[in-house]
Structure 1
Amino acid sequence: MRNRLRSNARIKIISFLSAVVLWMYVMAIVDPEDTKLFEDIPVTVTNMQELEEDDLVVYPESDLVTDIYIKGKLSDLQKLNKDDIHIYGSINNPIEGKNYLYLNVNTTKQVSHEFKSDFIVVKLEKLIHEKKDINTNIVGEYKNDVDTVALQQSTVNISGPRILVEKVNHIKATIQVNSKSDDNFIQRVKLVPVDANGDKVMGVSLDTRSMNAEVTFLEEKNVPINIQSQDDAEDVKSYELNPKEINIRGKKSLLNKINYINTEKVDLSSIGMSKKVNLIIPNGVTSEIKDAVIKPKDEEGLVQRIVYDKDEVELKNNSDDIKASDLNIPDSINVEVQSDTTVSKSDITLYIDLEDSYDENKEYTINYKSDITFKSIKIIPSDVGK
């Protein structure tokens, strides 16, 4: 039994050594040739600098790769990997559009090669530069309260392949307004190139990616309501409104010109006890109140309104020769008086006392003088300046 086991072990050892010797013989003496396919080998464009100097870029951007067959001794192929294969080519006489990149390869001398295709089709686009307008896009809870948005600049230079730059309609700057204050605020906004549909255009470069935006809010102002009669001869002083004044909102420059809101022209003879009348809200101004109720008033409560021009306001103690425009006096000043008698403009003189020294940072009160004793008098606006 023991002799039989020794005999089997000896046979196995001899068989193993025979196989090793045979393999060494094949590799050392025969070493057959074989062909191996290497896929997705990167391709280098050797004249890329020339393309850049001609303002040409590869578009659409993609990894330039190709497949290659390598033929050689089996032993050499087993040592070869993708990193040992360097494929390159140049684009001769490059133009905008379709070009051919003819391929070459560097690898070991012991092998030969064959490409699936000797060239790659490469599309080139002209690299162009253009100036595009910036459009603001205001979003957030208080977006309707924004008056103006002032950007650091109104345009941005962009660059990229012609086909992409031509897609850009404008540069979008989105302003987030989720809170409101009386003061202006500055927000850093991101600039995004978009097409005509507002979709982002990828693949273009901006010389400025973000900038500051100064946001100002619309202002508010309370103004009286003025009754307009269809017949100018009708005495509107015998009627009153509820409400007597409304709050309006708009740009500061526009509100400064508005001292009252008119009703639509109304036939006073048709009022009876009362009548609802629409208000004429100027363009660019908003108000939550759109109408008012007009009704006759008691004679005791007769209120008269007199409108003065700014030049009719006397400037007393005006040693510095200050003009009405320096004090921001509006074009018209409303004076409402309550009196038992009819009052005319000649009965009331408006004046501002400059107290011998004008201060541009100070508000000045519009005063009046009259020989008539009024039940009440109201000057709108009551203060000017600043």
Structure 2
Amino acid sequence: MDKERKEQLIIKICCVIAAFALWLFITGTENPLTAYKIKNVPVTMLNSDVLTKSNLVLVSGQDLTTSLNIKGANTSILLAMKASDFTVVADLGAYALKSGEYKIPIEIKKSPDNINVVNSDGLFITIQLDELTKKKLPINVNVSGKPKEGFYASKPELSSDYATVSGGSKVISEVKKIVIDENIQGLESNTSKEYKLKAVDESGKEIKDVVVSPAYINVKTLVKKTKSVEVTVKTAGSLDAKYTLGSIKAVPDTVDITGSLAELDNLKYLNTEEVDLSKITKSTTVEAKVIIPKGLNLVGGDAMVKVQVNLSSPNASSGAATTEKVDKTVQKDLSLDIKYNNLGETYLATLDSSKTSISVSGLESVINNLDLNNFSAKVDLTGLTEGKQSVKVIVSMPKGVTLVSHNPDKIGVTITKKQTEVPVSNDNKSK
């Protein structure tokens, strides 16, 4: 019995060995083929210049790829295949094309030697063609940020004011602007830089499936120093004798000016065009132009200000004439000592300038009786520590007086720490 079992086991083992040997023979000599599918194989368009000649363009966003069914003897080789291992083309030169949809036959120009493409015959790709359209548009500059404080950036100068955008008629109809984005944050000197042009739709979203020509332009931005300058009202003529001028001032009473440093340093204030007081019979507001000297420019806005003229009560009742002298508005220059306050107890301060020159205006009767004790010029050193600082000079004046200008309006302050005194002990003294 045991002998029979052993014989059956030997027979089974022999069968397994024979089957394995047969499998080795078949795979080694017969090479059975394995099927596999390669997706997203790019299709190259041959003779695409016929589109330009026919004033056509491929509609953007199309899937210009195909899938190939391949077979090979080695599964591992098939699995290693990539779309880039194949060259697939579609020839546009054999067709009379116009806008619309076309099914173009495709041809496999190159494939690996050790595989077969099963579906090489009867392959097609569907393409959409649109009329080539061009549009010329002005270039817009989207400026963001601000230059460094005390500086002004002029309007950007472009190497080209217009650009042409081209593409399919449908996508070109969505293009509303051609723009560049310029950031001037912190600028304090002139800049010249090349920027890429973008075609955008109504909402400002970039449209990429078009060609913008030129693709890049140069943008130059001039940056100049600015200064805030007081505006004084220049008058002509005299009020009727029965009126007294209460006050006259410009609104706004300061404007920002840009120009060379030398010109700005010499500028103390700006005058308006003359306001004719002989035509004023009641408190009113009139417009007047600010006179901007040659070589200087106003920063933003226009050169017009509103002049508020306030008259005091008439000097005579019932319209009766009087010979009382009219109290006119006049100006006067003064010199003030600059002092500092709010310096920390552990610090010392040295001012670069000890005086400031100011120009004030007001009624003649007030200006002629000014007391310098009612004026002060101070710099606030609150929170400042060691080092060189630039601090604004704050001028205080009595009521009825208007500050026209003051120079300097900022001064340098050097702050140092007080030296700590070390007490001398008796032992040290005896030595």
Superposition TM-score, scaled by structure 1 size: 0.54
Matched, 1:224 2:207: no
Q: Which amino acid aligns with 2:272?
A: Y
**Equivalent in 150, 157, 161 of residue 150 of structure 1:** 157
Corresponding position of 2:302: 285
Give the 3-state SS of the residue equivalent to 2:160 in structure 1.
Answer: coil
Which deviates the most, 286-295 or 89-98? 286-295
**Equivalent in 200, 213, 219 of residue 212 of structure 1:** 219
| Residues 65-86 of structure 1, C-alpha deviations (whole Å, 9 max, x = no match) | 223445x7x7478865645655
Corresponding position of 1:97: 100
Corresponding position of 2:41: 41
Deviation at 1:112, TM superposition (A): 6.7
Q: Distance in 2 between matches of 1:52 and 1:268?
A: 74
Q: Distance in 1 between matches of 2:76 and 2:143?
A: 64
Corresponding position of 2:380: none
Matched, 1:88 2:59: no
Q: Distance in 1 between matches of 2:91 and 2:146?
A: 57
Give the 3-state SS of the residue equivalent to 2:287 in structure 1.
Answer: coil
Change (3 A) 1:289 1:78: same
Which deviates the most, 219-228 or 171-180? 219-228
Deviation at 1:60, TM superposition (A): 1.6
Identical aligned pairs, as a percentage?
A: 16
Give the 3-state SS of the residue equivalent to 1:66 in structure 2.
Answer: strand
Matched, 1:247 2:259: no
- 8 Å Cα contact 2:240/2:278 also seen in 1: no
Corresponding position of 1:133: 138
Deviation at 1:299, TM superposition (A): 3.8
| Residues 119-176 of structure 1, C-alpha deviations (whole Å, 9 max, x = no match) | 2211134555554311223332469965533222212344444444443333223343
Q: Which amino acid aligns with 1:48?
A: S
- 8 Å Cα contact 1:37/1:69 also seen in 2: yes
Q: How many aligned positions are there?
A: 294
Aligned positions of 1:12-31 closer than 5 A: 13-24=13-24, 26-27=26-27
**Equivalent in 110, 119, 124 of residue 129 of structure 2:** 124
Q: Distance in 1 between matches of 2:179 and 2:202?
A: 11
Q: Distance in 2 between matches of 1:264 and 1:302?
A: 13
Q: Distance in 1 between matches of 2:75 and 2:246?
A: 105
Corresponding position of 1:188: 193
- 8 Å Cα contact 2:165/2:213 also seen in 1: yes
- 8 Å Cα contact 1:224/1:261 also seen in 2: no
Corresponding position of 2:208: 202
Q: Which amino acid aligns with 1:102?
A: P
Q: Distance in 1 between matches of 2:68 and 2:187?
A: 66
- 8 Å Cα contact 1:89/1:101 also seen in 2: yes
Change (3 A) 1:162 1:290: farther
Corresponding position of 1:348: none
Change (3 A) 1:111 1:140: closer
Change (3 A) 1:205 1:244: closer
Change (3 A) 1:28 1:148: closer
**5+ unaligned residues in a row in structure 2: which ranges?**
260-269, 291-300, 316-323, 332-363, 366-431
Q: Distance in 2 between matches of 1:179 and 1:109?
A: 64
Give the 3-state SS of the residue equivalent to 1:193 in structure 2.
Answer: strand
Change (3 A) 1:86 1:18: farther
Change (3 A) 1:126 1:77: farther
Give the 3-state SS of the residue equivalent to 2:118 in structure 1.
Answer: strand
| Residues 174-220 of structure 1, C-alpha deviations (whole Å, 9 max, x = no match) | 34343476xx7235263332223322221334424241222366886
Change (3 A) 1:235 1:147: farther
Q: Distance in 2 between matches of 1:85 and 1:139?
A: 48
Change (3 A) 1:43 1:75: same
Q: Which amino acid aligns with 2:104?
A: L
| Residues 314-354 of structure 1, C-alpha deviations (whole Å, 9 max, x = no match) | xxxxxxxxxxxxxxxxxxxxxxxx89xxxxxxxxxxxxxxx
- 8 Å Cα contact 1:141/1:177 also seen in 2: yes
Aligned positions of 1:1-386 closer than 5 A: 13-24=13-24, 26-27=26-27, 36-51=36-51, 56-70=56-70, 75=73, 80=78, 82-83=81-82, 86-91=87-92, 92-93=94-95, 94-105=97-108, 113-114=118-119, 118-141=123-146, 148-179=155-186, 185-188=190-193, 190=195, 191-203=197-209, 204-215=211-222, 222-225=230-233, 234=240, 238-243=244-249, 246-249=253-256, 259-260=271-272, 277-280=284-287, 284-285=301-302, 291=308, 293-295=310-312, 299=325, 301-302=327-328
| Residues 5-52 of structure 1, C-alpha deviations (whole Å, 9 max, x = no match) | 997985565234212233246557877677654433333333335446
**5+ unaligned residues in a row in structure 1: which ranges?**
253-257, 272-276, 306-337, 340-386
Q: Distance in 2 between matches of 1:110 and 1:176?
A: 56
Query: Once superposed, what is the RMSD of the aligned Cα atoms?
Result: 5.4
- 8 Å Cα contact 1:261/1:280 also seen in 2: no
Give the 3-state SS of the residue equivalent to 1:134 in structure 2.
Answer: strand
- 8 Å Cα contact 2:159/2:217 also seen in 1: no
Give the 3-state SS of the residue equivalent to 1:104 in structure 2.
Answer: strand
Change (3 A) 1:75 1:121: same
- 8 Å Cα contact 1:67/1:115 also seen in 2: no
Superposition TM-score, scaled by structure 2 size: 0.49
- 8 Å Cα contact 1:68/1:116 also seen in 2: no
